[in-house]
Chains A and B, each alone.
Chain A
């Protein structure tokens, strides 16, 4: 077993500069996105429930996560991912 990290110094994935912002979509937003692209949830890219960032924001299976990345060409780039097992 790995040693537990000292208190107050646990690794927080979301605070790492290489990890983009993750957030769970609420019902309304999700509906809007799905109709915007005219898709079902299953057509979206996937993210594992066990993904460290997904775990951090407590995403459940079936949720859709919005990921906001910094992009050198587009400023901000938004992605959506369906949480799967």
Chain B
């Protein structure tokens, strides 16, 4: 294949095509509506004329002599018996007709006005600014004139009926009338209305010649039955030619005006739908089956159109998509690929002396025997499919310089992606692991960067095809290299949900773990020797959970930090913390403290952060693998479950809660009566009613919180939900309060619920009732169950949340798109400045400080402290 040297585009000219131009670019006039003759051969001067290009193999184009695939196709034309209007410009015609004289065609403006507007347009053009505003003003001014200043003709009001009818004085203007009017406009006037007399004369909008697109852009397909099925555009062209012919016959036969007009309208309809089949007011042209035809506009417009569907977005080979599911036994940079997928996706191997034997083995195995091969490409470029029967033969034939499409196998690097691809961690390089069953498997620790879960999510997989692509993927996109997020300089990959609960349970308990259990816990990690037992019970050695966890920490790790469960006491007791919330790791041994979200959680993990920045990503990666596996064993060791019965509150606590609620309601009543009596003290900047609302909201939320505290006192650290909330694994104390004690105020737009019937929210309440219950306060808890009115208010509040997220995602998606488009070509230069492609400076120093946020410590400016501490030797 000869690749033409690329040429630089100097300019693009937009304009209308003149009838002359249409005829010039046409290779044949099309006069018959038929396509093929009885022998299946294209009819001359028909819609499939071989002058227009060829699509059937074996035929040659009569214009360029090319075969199917070589010939790009050529335009033909149809001579329309009567002119018709181009729908796309119908509105422009309306504007021009109203702005020009019906007799002499002059633009209805004073000569000096014309001059002024023309000058403005010229300066704007020179500056590359849009001229729309000026042109619209010209049309607006010209329309005001009642009589023509040039010939004295009185102007008539022109009514426009969508899509292509113009009525003047109850008299319909035919396209011929319109065309002759447009022809009369002078070149000077055309420039004043913002058009270019050389490239876009207004009368060219009224079509007298219709171009026939090349056969190559409307290929017919042969069905299995041998029957030909034509493209939608061809169908439409057939309609146009038929009506055109009938029109001509009728006119020549001297048919009455009424019939001529009907046919004219029909011709207009067909040409209109040929251009755009979704014009409002025009019934869309349909296929025999009732499906609307896809005509010119429909090919370009919308998501699946040429621009968004074919040019900005393309489909690719060497890719797979399926549902994802978790597999904690995979390493974080692995991805489980179904065998069926692995058999289909290939990598091309060039046969060299060094891999000849290996390649032969792949070929010998054939396509059905997993790491096999699907195709070979011989030295002469011929592709041969490998089958069960020819695999042995082909394997012996393979020689240097051939290419073999080898199936992907364990360890191959692939790209893994989940939409929406909002940041660079949405596409990462994984190493594949071929597994049975039909889903992609991934370690749950890599869910956060993809924002994936397993409720039916699907993900895509792409196989890089060249050595360069594979090397780039492995060096830049490997999961290991993306543990730190460039957004905030902390790890984005890390433990989630049960990983956190599991390690929390393991490291927070005082349980003595015997040898059997200890080995069981560590089974999946590669630790084969236990350290010195913590002590003996009944002559049996035992270990603590902290010791077990220490086994997976790399030696030489020193760290001290406050855990997530830290209660922010006024005076921190440090190592003597009663909650075991002060973590001390010395030389890879967890001496004190509890492992929770702060230690291993995604987004927050201090340990991971340190491992990557001061050790390396390999060690960090291994730690995540070990930690996630240990945590799963850990959570299974003690067992972990949760049900609504876990929110049981003893009767005395329940009565305390009831009391708080009653008191709060009394207070609200008092506030209301104070308000009604006009004794309520107004807050600055608020109306009296607003003050009341605020006071009530404050009172009720205070009540909800204190019921939560009461419930919390009775639900200790032995409660699963409390463990999850405190360790940061899932949920919050607020969720707990709502389940156990009180759901609280339901709000719409931050206010109590006020909508509903006149003067009240529901008919269950008195008109004007300002009380808590009447405006969406839910006193019950999820466990006790909501009353019908409470339930209804809760649904209102819940709905708002749903609508909010729906609106937010679409808005932030569009914002993201705009930002990406604006920033995509900016680049940090070697001197630290940020510049665009024209080398204009955007920032003198990247981000003011020149720091890559990925290398900063959780985006805090004290990054230097770590270095100083390590040099000066201050305690960690």
Q: A44: CB under 8 A from chain B?
A: yes
Interface hits, B133-187 → A, CB 8 Å: none
| A37-B831, A72-B861 as given contacts; A77 in contact with B845, CB under 8 Å | yes
A73 at the binding interface (Cβ < 8 Å): yes
Query: A73 is contacted by which of B831, B835, B849 (Cβ under 8 Å)?
Result: B849
A44-82 contact mask (Cβ, 8 Å, vs B): 1 or 0: 110000000000000000000000010111100111100
A1 touches B (CB below 8 Å):
no
A37 and B841 form a contact (CB under 8 A): yes
In the complex, are the beta carbons of B841 and A39 less than 8 A apart?
A: yes
Asked, given contacts A72-B861, A73-B861, whether A39 binds B848 with beta carbons under 8 Å apart, the answer is no
For the complex, give the distance between the alpha carbons of A39 and B848 in Å: 19
Contact present for A74 and B844 (CB under 8 Å): no
Task: Check A43 against B849 for contact (C-beta < 8 Å).
Answer: no
Interface residues on A, range: 10 to 19
Considering only residues 810-865 of chain B, those with a C-beta below 8 Å from chain A are 831, 833, 835, 838-845, 847-851, 861
Whether B839 pairs with A71 at a CB distance below 8 angstroms is no
CA distance A75 to B838 in the complex (A): 30
A residues less than 8 Å from B842 (CB atoms): 45
The answer, among A44, A45, A77, for a CB contact under 8 Å with B849, is: A77
Considering the chains assembled together, what is the distance between the CA atoms of A38 and B829 in angstroms?
A: 12
Q: How many angstroms between the C-alpha atoms of A79 and B847 in the bound complex?
A: 12
Q: Pick from A38, A44, A74: contact of B848, CB below 8 A.
A: A74
Q: A77 to B833, alpha carbons, bound, how many Å?
A: 13
Tell me the minimal C-beta distance from A45 to chain B in angstroms: 6
What are 21 inter-chain pairs, A to B, with CB distance below 8 A? Answer: A36-B831, A37-B831, A37-B833, A37-B844, A43-B838, A43-B840, A44-B840, A44-B841, A45-B840, A45-B842, A69-B848, A71-B849, A73-B848, A73-B849, A73-B851, A73-B861, A74-B849, A74-B850, A77-B849, A78-B844, A78-B845
How far is A44 from B861 in the complex, measured between Cα atoms in Å?
28
Min distance, Cβ B845 to any Cβ of chain A, angstroms: 7
Contact yes or no, A71 B841, CB < 8 A: no
CB-CB under 8 A from B838, the residues of chain A are: 43
- Measured CB to CB, the closest approach of chain A to B532, in angstroms, equals 47
Nearest-neighbour CB distance to chain B for A52, whole angstroms, equals: 22
C-alpha spacing A71/B850, complex, angstroms: 12
A79: B residues at CB distance < 8 A: 843-844
Residues on A with C-beta less than 8 A from B835 are 43
Residues of B within 8 A of A78 (CB): 844-845
CA distance in complex: A74, B833 (Å): 15
- Chain B CB within 10 Å — which of A44, A73, A79 has the most? A73
Chain B at the A interface: SS class:
loop
Please report the C-alpha to C-alpha distance between residue A45 and residue B835 in the assembled complex, in whole angstroms: 10
**A43 is contacted by which of B841, B845, B847, B851 (Cβ under 8 Å)?**
B841
CB-based nearest B residue for A80? B844
Residue from B839, B841, B843, B861 with most neighbouring chain A CB atoms (10 Å): B841
CA–CA, A78 and B843, complex, Å: 10
Residue contact A73 to B844, C-beta cutoff 8 Å: no
Ranked 4 nearest A-B pairs via Cβ: A74-B849, A77-B848, A73-B849, A71-B848
A82 to B311, CA, bound (A): 39
What's the least CB distance linking B860 to chain A, in Å? 9
Question: Of all chain A residues, which has the CB nearest B831?
Answer: A37
Query: Which residues of B are interface residues toward A (Cβ below 8 A)?
Result: 831, 833, 835, 838-845, 847-851, 861
A4 to B848, CA, bound (A): 39
How far is B843's CA from A45's CA once the two chains are assembled, in angstroms?
A: 8
Q: Which residues of A contact B844 (CB under 8 A)?
A: 37, 78-80
- In the complex, what distance in Å separates the CA atom of A78 from the CA atom of B851? 15
Give the CA-CA distance A79 to B846 in the complex, in Å.
Answer: 11
Q: What CA separation (Å) do A3 and B848 show in the bound complex? A: 40
Q: Give the dominant DSSP class at A's interface.
A: mixed
Q: Give chain A interface residues in 6-26, CB to chain B under 8 Å.
A: none
Q: Cβ of A45: which chain B residues have Cβ within 8 Å of it?
A: 840-842
| Chain A, Cβ-Cβ closest to B844 | A79
Residue from B839, B843, B847, B850 within 8 A of A39 (CB atoms): B839
Partner of B845, one of A38, A39, A72, A74: A74
B841 touching A73, Cβ below 8 Å: no
Which residue in chain A gives the minimum CB-CB distance to B849? A74
Instruction: Point out the residues of chain B lying under 8 angstroms from A80, CB to CB.
Output: 844
Minimum CB–CB distance for A29 against chain B, Å: 14
Select from chain B the residue with minimum beta-carbon distance to A78.
B844
B828 CB → nearest A CB, Å: 13
Which residues of chain A have C-beta atoms less than 8 A from B847's C-beta? 73
Query: In the complex the two chains form, what is the Cα distance from A37 to B839 in whole Å?
Result: 11
Among residues of B, the one whose C-beta sits closest to the C-beta of A36 is B831
List, in ascending order, chain B residues with CB within 8 A of A36's CB. 831
| Assembled-state Cα–Cα distance A71/B846 (Å) | 13
Contacts of A37 in B (CB 8 A): 831, 833, 841, 844
- How far apart are the CA atoms of A13 and B838 in the complex, in Å? 33
A-side contacts of B850, CB under 8 Å: 74
**Residue of chain A at shortest CB distance from B840:** A43
B-contact bits for A24-36, CB 8 A (1 contact / 0 none): 0000000000001
The residues of A that contact B845 with a CB separation of less than 8 Å are 74, 77-78
**Which residues from chain B contact A38 at a C-beta distance below 8 Å?**
831
Task: Give bound CA distance, A3 to B843, whole Å.
Answer: 39
CA of A43 to CA of B842 in the docked complex: distance in angstroms? 9
How many Å lie between the Cα of A42 and that of B416 in the bound state? Answer: 43
Cα distance A20–B840 when bound, in Å?
Answer: 23
- A15 CA to B839 CA, complexed, in Å: 34
Shortest Cβ distance from B833 into A: residue: A37
Bound-state Cα–Cα, A74 to B846, Å: 11
Nearest residue (CB) in A for B859 is A73
Measured between beta carbons, the chain A residues less than 8 angstroms from B840 are 43-45
* Nearest CB on B from A84, distance (A): 13
- Residues of chain B with a CB closer than 8 A to A77's CB: 845, 848-849
Question: Within the assembled complex, what's the spacing in Å between the Cα atoms of A44 and B839?
Answer: 9
Whole-angstrom distance between the alpha carbons of A23 and B833 in the complex? Answer: 21
Report the bound CA distance from A78 to B839 in whole Å. 19
| Residue in B833, B844, B861 whose Cβ sees the most chain A Cβ within 10 Å | B844
* Chain A, Cβ-Cβ closest to B842: A45
Across the two chains, which residue of chain B brings its CB closest to A42? B840
Report the minimum CB–CB distance from B830 to chain A (whole Å): 11
Closest Cβ of chain A to B275, distance in Å, is 45
Measured between alpha carbons, how far is A26 from B841 in the docked complex, in Å? 20
User: Whose C-beta in chain B lies nearest to the C-beta of A72?
Assistant: B861
Contact between chains at B848 and A43 (CB < 8 Å): no
Chain B's nearest CB lies how many Å from the CB of A74? 3
Cβ-closest chain B residue relative to A69: B848
Question: A77's closest neighbor in chain B, by CB?
Answer: B848
In angstroms, Cα B804 to Cα A5, docked, is 46
- In whole angstroms, how far apart are the Cα atoms of A42 and B848 in the complex? 21
**A37→B778 CA distance, assembly (Å):** 64
B860 (CB) vs chain A CBs: closest residue? A73
Instruction: Give Cα A69–Cα B851 distance, bound, in whole angstroms.
Output: 17
Closest chain B residue, CB of each to CB of A74? B849
- Report how far A72 CA is from B835 CA in the complex, Å: 23
- Kindly state the separation between the CA atoms of A47 and B842 in the bound complex, as whole angstroms: 13
Report the Cα distance A32→B838, complex, angstroms.
22
Q: How far is the CA of A37 from the CA of B838 in the complex (A)?
A: 14
**Within the complex, what minimum Cβ distance (angstroms) separates B488 from chain A?**
13
Q: Tell me, in angstroms, the Cα distance from A72 to B859 when the chains sit together.
A: 11
Q: How far is the CA of A2 from the CA of B647 in the complex (A)?
A: 66
Q: In the assembled complex, how far is the CB of residue A41 from the closest CB belonging to chain B, in whole angstroms?
A: 11
B853 to chain A minimum Cβ distance, whole angstroms, is: 10
User: How far is B845's CA from A36's CA once the two chains are assembled, in angstroms?
Assistant: 12
For A43, what are the chain B residues with a Cβ–Cβ distance below 8 Å? Answer: 835, 838-841
A33 and B844 alpha carbons, distance in the complex (Å) = 11
In angstroms, Cα B849 to Cα A50, docked, is 29
A78 to B835, CA, bound (A): 16
Which residues on the A side are within 8 Å of B841 (C-beta)?
Answer: 37, 39, 43-45
Residues of B within 8 A of A44 (CB): 840-841
Report the bound CA distance from A39 to B839 in whole Å: 9
B835 to A, closest residue via Cβ: A43
The distance from the CB of B425 to the nearest CB of chain A, in whole angstroms, is 23
A82 to chain B minimum Cβ distance, whole angstroms, is 10
Q: Give the residues in chain B near A69, CB-CB below 8 Å.
A: 848
